[in-house]
């Protein structure tokens, strides 16, 4: 049996050889994330005070943003953090996209992905987190994902704002011949009791020549003026008037367009093709074959004068396909293989506490169940696209991407360039959900641009190509066993799941390396939860399959919350206990979690009779509580079933403790977004595979929730002084089990498979 200690410390010889060096390097404090490696580019009249803020002579405050804006409001939230410490005039704040640089690499998101339980405060965890954090600061990845943007930049953005503020004060005090401590800053001006004052714009050039402060004092949260207050999103107006530019909106002089048709079988490639008919069509410039790139399936591409001409012509290319190893793979076979793996192995144990075998043996009542979740596509509203120009030994990339530096590396590799010869212009993202952590379409665009004679080429996937050639949320099978004593108290909890591991695939397709390490995402949402089980063992068996998998909104939490919270309801029912009360007993020493659960129950009217729906059908409530990405979320769903067995969710009550809510409006928006996204998957969506080919192609057979199906969503944000946590993903996991638990109360049917379908 593989153990965490074996994985992390197994290379004893290498550890001994590098021990002294590693200890010394680890002991050194991490380098500050304030100054870029190269001078920050500035526009006319702008002065850069550090790697995060520029101030213009016109008093505008340009906040440099290294995270991608994909609808989660991070531009506004992070700008509020820096502007708070800077004491900027919010009306003067603007956002500028960051260049690629080490200070913008995501540290928190990677550190928090280590396979440790939140309650683990041991030395091994501390060492692993410190080493990983320092390594990510130097060799990491610019990444928007894992709901980590605010957690990653909460401190650096505050330090950057406070540092710039101190430099402005120093410039003013020097110019006025007064002491810096006598000055104060307010709404974009430096003020002195003598009556002298100067705007940021007037001081910016002199402030930029001041040395960076050795240390800064951050504000007491009690004095915050921006943080914690609702503010309109900075980019909202541009989205309303159409001036916002997403990846698909890029327009360049002389631009050409390309459409791609990939092998219908996942992982396949082109054996041969005949472009005779396609090349006869108007507007067609070139037809070429595309090899599999960065995990993509191979295919053919047509470069043409317009998107229409390209899409029409690519259908006229006659292709002989090499279907590859997935040609006979089916969903039924996949589920069978996952279930069989659980018959023989418990996989890697992510969490063990007490003697669960003895507890189950002594139990008066035992509850067992098996749950399943399907593959899921991301179905972002903006289809996959990328624009690349390759000319005179340089490449420019316009992409809606969550990983701009990986995008740059992939283009450099495809075109045989140094990374410094590739310029990436990150655009707004029309949805990401993890799909735009991949660079397959970007690498394709680079390969196509190489054949365009120097013209910029925009590659646009059709919705059908997008749905059938995704990196899917892994399918998963999960088995549970719980034991109860004579009084209905939980004695033991055993849970083992099986499915593909995402991280090894990502590492291999991005870096070309094989990684045999435990992947936290396979069991997150199962092993890292707050419930205090008297004894428990939770593991995952990673199964290799030729299906491309990737990060899907809330990743492992997306299905493990359904498994865990549904089975917990089963156990509560077997114990004859109310589901809220049963959970509360397991959270007795978790005051924050208990408060969220009880508040959701109170707001939803838990325990009170529910009136019938408008059409006369009966309604019932279901509850779920789940912690993910640092945030605690409880949801209560009110559900009815029509005579034709159509499931209708009328209301979802959502309570979240996300630590300090930077902008409560954004938190509520993300809870609503996550709930709608999660309901679409819970009620409708799955990806089925037959003979290696994905059967779903578009929204008609992979539907999202419609306006007339959307429930009323009531969200309450718990006030907190804790550091801010993630909000982009935590709203998604609890909604499926809340609905399933309501359906059990309503119908007596325990649905253990997604999407939820009544017999």
Instruction: State yes or no: pLDDT of 18 exceeds 80.
Output: no
The predicted pLDDT at position 598 comes to 98
Highest mean pLDDT (candidates 28-42, 406-420, 606-620): 406-420
Q: What are the pLDDT digits (tens) for 371-422?
A: 999 999 999 999 999 999 999 999 999 999 999 999 999 999 999 999 999 9
Q: What percent of the chain has pLDDT over 70?
A: 96
Alpha-carbon gap, residue 194 to 663, rounded angstroms = 36
The length of the chain in residues reads 759
Confidence of residue 599 (pLDDT cuts 50, 70, 90): very high
DSSP letter, residue 598: H
The predicted pLDDT at position 2 comes to 44
Instruction: State yes or no: pLDDT of 13 exceeds 60.
Output: no
Q: What are the pLDDT digits (tens) for 180-203?
A: 999 999 999 999 999 999 999 999
The predicted pLDDT at position 24 comes to 63
The predicted pLDDT at position 23 comes to 59
Q: What are the pLDDT digits (tens) for 516-556?
A: 789 999 999 999 999 999 999 999 999 999 999 999 999 99
CATH tag for 46-106+141-231 (out of 3.40.50.300, 3.30.710.10, 3.40.50.1370, 3.30.365.10): 3.30.365.10
Instruction: State yes or no: pLDDT of 4 exceeds 70.
Output: no
Instruction: State yes or no: pLDDT of 490 exceeds 60.
Output: yes
Q: What is the mean pLDDT of the chain?
A: 95
- Global confidence as pTM: 0.95
CA distances from 716 to 519, 596, 657 (A): 33, 9, 9
Instruction: State yes or no: pLDDT of 565 exceeds 70.
Output: yes
The predicted pLDDT at position 615 comes to 85
The predicted pLDDT at position 514 comes to 87
The predicted pLDDT at position 261 comes to 98
Least confident range from 15-24, 280-289, 524-533, 595-604: namely 15-24
Residue with token string 């399936």 = 297
Confidence of residue 47 (pLDDT cuts 50, 70, 90): very high
Mean local confidence (pLDDT), 2-10: 42
Q: What are the pLDDT digits (tens) for 151-183?
A: 999 999 999 999 999 999 999 999 999 999 999
The predicted pLDDT at position 10 comes to 41
Alpha-carbon gap, residue 642 to 615, rounded angstroms = 9
The predicted pLDDT at position 19 comes to 52
Confidence of residue 461 (pLDDT cuts 50, 70, 90): very high
- Domain residue ranges in the chain: 46-106+141-231, 247-325+384-460, 343-376+472-747
The predicted pLDDT at position 22 comes to 54
Mean local confidence (pLDDT), 32-54: 96
CA distances from 294 to 249, 291, 323, 447, 451 (A): 24, 10, 18, 12, 19
Identical topology for domains 247-325+384-460 and 343-376+472-747: yes
Alpha-carbon gap, residue 244 to 235, rounded angstroms = 8
DSSP letter, residue 706: P
Phi and psi at 408, nearest 5°, equal -65, -45
Alpha-carbon gap, residue 757 to 683, rounded angstroms = 7
CA neighbor of 739 nearest in space, from 591, 526, 569: 569
Alpha-carbon gap, residue 92 to 83, rounded angstroms = 10
Which H or E run contains 284?
strand 284-290
Alpha-carbon gap, residue 73 to 491, rounded angstroms = 43
Domain spanning 247-325+384-460, CATH architecture:
2-Layer Sandwich (3.30)
Q: What percent of the chain has pLDDT over 90?
A: 94
CA neighbor of 288 nearest in space, from 299, 300, 272: 300
CATH entry 3.30.365.10 includes domain 343-376+472-747? yes
Phi and psi at 222, nearest 5°, equal -65, -20
The predicted pLDDT at position 455 comes to 98
Q: What are the pLDDT digits (tens) for 321-371?
A: 999 999 999 999 999 999 999 999 889 999 999 999 999 999 999 999 999
Residue with token string 């009556």 = 195
The predicted pLDDT at position 716 comes to 98
Q: What are the pLDDT digits (tens) for 265-305?
A: 999 999 999 999 999 999 999 999 999 999 999 999 999 99
Instruction: State yes or no: pLDDT of 102 exceeds 70.
Output: yes
Residue with token string 């059938």 = 468
Mean local confidence (pLDDT), 473-484: 98
Instruction: Extract the runs of DSSP E, i.e. beta strands, from 473-547.
Output: 476-484, 490-499, 536-542
């Amino acid at each position: 049996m593989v153990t965490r200690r074996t994985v992390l410390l197994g290379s004893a010889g290498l550890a001994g050889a590098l021990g002294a060096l590693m200890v010394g390097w680890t002991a050194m404090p991490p380098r500050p994330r304030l100054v870029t490696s190269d001078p920050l580019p500035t526009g006319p009249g702008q002065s850069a005070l550090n790697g995060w803020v520029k101030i213009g002579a016109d008093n505008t405050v340009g906040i440099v943003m290294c995270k991608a804006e994909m609808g989660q409001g991070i531009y506004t939230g992070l700008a509020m953090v820096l502007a708070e410490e800077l004491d900027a005039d919010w009306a003067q704040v603007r956002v500028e996209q960051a260049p690629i640089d080490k200070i913008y690499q995501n540290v928190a998101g990677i550190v928090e992905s280590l396979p440790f339980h939140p309650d683990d405060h041991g030395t091994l965890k501390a060492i692993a987190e410190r080493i990983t954090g320092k390594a990510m600061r130097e060799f990491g990845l610019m990444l928007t994902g894992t709901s980590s943007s605010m957690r990653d930049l909460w401190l650096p953005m505050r330090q950057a704002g406070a540092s710039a503020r101190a430099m402005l004060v120093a410039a003013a005090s020097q110019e006025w011949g007064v002491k810096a401590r006598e000055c104060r800053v307010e709404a974009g001006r430096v003020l002195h009791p003598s009556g002298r004052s100067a705007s940021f714009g007037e001081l910016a050039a002199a402030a930029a020549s001041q040395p960076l402060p050795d240390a800064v004092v951050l504000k007491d949260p009690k004095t915050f003026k921006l943080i914690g207050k609702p503010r309109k999103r900075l980019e909202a107006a541009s989205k309303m008037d159409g001036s916002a530019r997403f990846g698909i909106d890029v327009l360049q002089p002389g631009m050409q367009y390309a459409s791609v048709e990939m092998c219908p079988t996942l992982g396949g490639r082109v054996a041969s093709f005949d472009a005779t008919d396609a090349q006869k069509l108007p507007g067609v410039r070139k037809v070429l074959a595309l090899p599999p790139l960065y995990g993509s399936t191979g295919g053919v591409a047509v470069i043409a004068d317009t998107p229409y001409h390209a899409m029409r012509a690519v259908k006229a290319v006659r292709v002989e396909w090499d279907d590859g190893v997935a040609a006979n793979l089916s969903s039924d076979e996949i589920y069978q293989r996952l279930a069989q793996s659980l018959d023989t192995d418990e996989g890697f144990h992510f969490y063990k506490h007490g003697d669960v075998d003895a507890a189950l043996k002594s139990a008066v009542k035992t509850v067992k169940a098996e749950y399943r979740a399907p593959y899921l596509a991301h179905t972002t509203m903006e289809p996959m696209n990328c624009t690349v120009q390759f000319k005179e030994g340089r490449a420019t990339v316009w992409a809606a991407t969550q990983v701009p530096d990986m995008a740059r590396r992939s283009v450099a590799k495809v075109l045989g360039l140094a990374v410094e010869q590739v310029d990436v212009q990150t655009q707004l993202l029309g949805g990401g959900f993890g799909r735009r952590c991949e660079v397959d379409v970007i690498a394709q665009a680079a390969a196509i641009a190489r054949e365009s004679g120097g013209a910029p080429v925009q590659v646009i996937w059709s919705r059908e190509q997008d749905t059938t050639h995704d990196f899917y949320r892994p399918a998963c099978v999960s088995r549970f066993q719980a034991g109860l004593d004579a009084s209905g108290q939980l004695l033991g909890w055993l849970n083992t799941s099986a499915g593909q591991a995402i991280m090894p695939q990502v590492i291999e397709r991005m870096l070309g390396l094989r990684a045999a390490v435990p992947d936290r995402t396979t069991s997150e949402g199962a092993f890292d939860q707050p419930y205090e089980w008297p004894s428990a063992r939770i593991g995952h068996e990673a199964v290799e399959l030729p299906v491309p998998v990737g990060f899907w909104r809330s990743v492992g939490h997306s299905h493990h919350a359904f498994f865990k919270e549904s089975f917990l309801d089963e156990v509560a029912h077997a114990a004859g206990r109310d589901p809220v009360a049963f959970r509360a007993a397991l959270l007795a020493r978790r005051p924050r979690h208990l408060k969220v659960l009880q508040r959701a129950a109170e707001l939803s009217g838990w325990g009170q009779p529910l009136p019938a729906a408008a059409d006369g059908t009966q309604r019932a409530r279901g509850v779920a509580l789940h912690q993910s990405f640092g945030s605690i979320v409880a949801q209560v769903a009110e559900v009815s079933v029509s005579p034709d067995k159509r499931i209708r969710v009328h209301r979802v009550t959502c309570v979240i403790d996300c630590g300090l809510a930077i902008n409560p409006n954004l938190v509520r928006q993300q809870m609503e977004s996550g709930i709608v996204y999660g309901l679409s998957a819970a009620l409708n969506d799955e990806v089925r595979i037959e003979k290696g080919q994905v059967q779903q192609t578009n929204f008609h057979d992979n539907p999202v929730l419609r306006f007339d199906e959307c429930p009323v969503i009531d969200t309450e944000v718990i006030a907190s002084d804790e550091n801010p946590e993630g909000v982009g993903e935590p709203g998604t996991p609890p909604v499926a089990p809340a609905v399933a638990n309501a359906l059990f109360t309503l119908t007596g049917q325990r649905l253990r498979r997604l999407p939820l379908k009544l017999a």
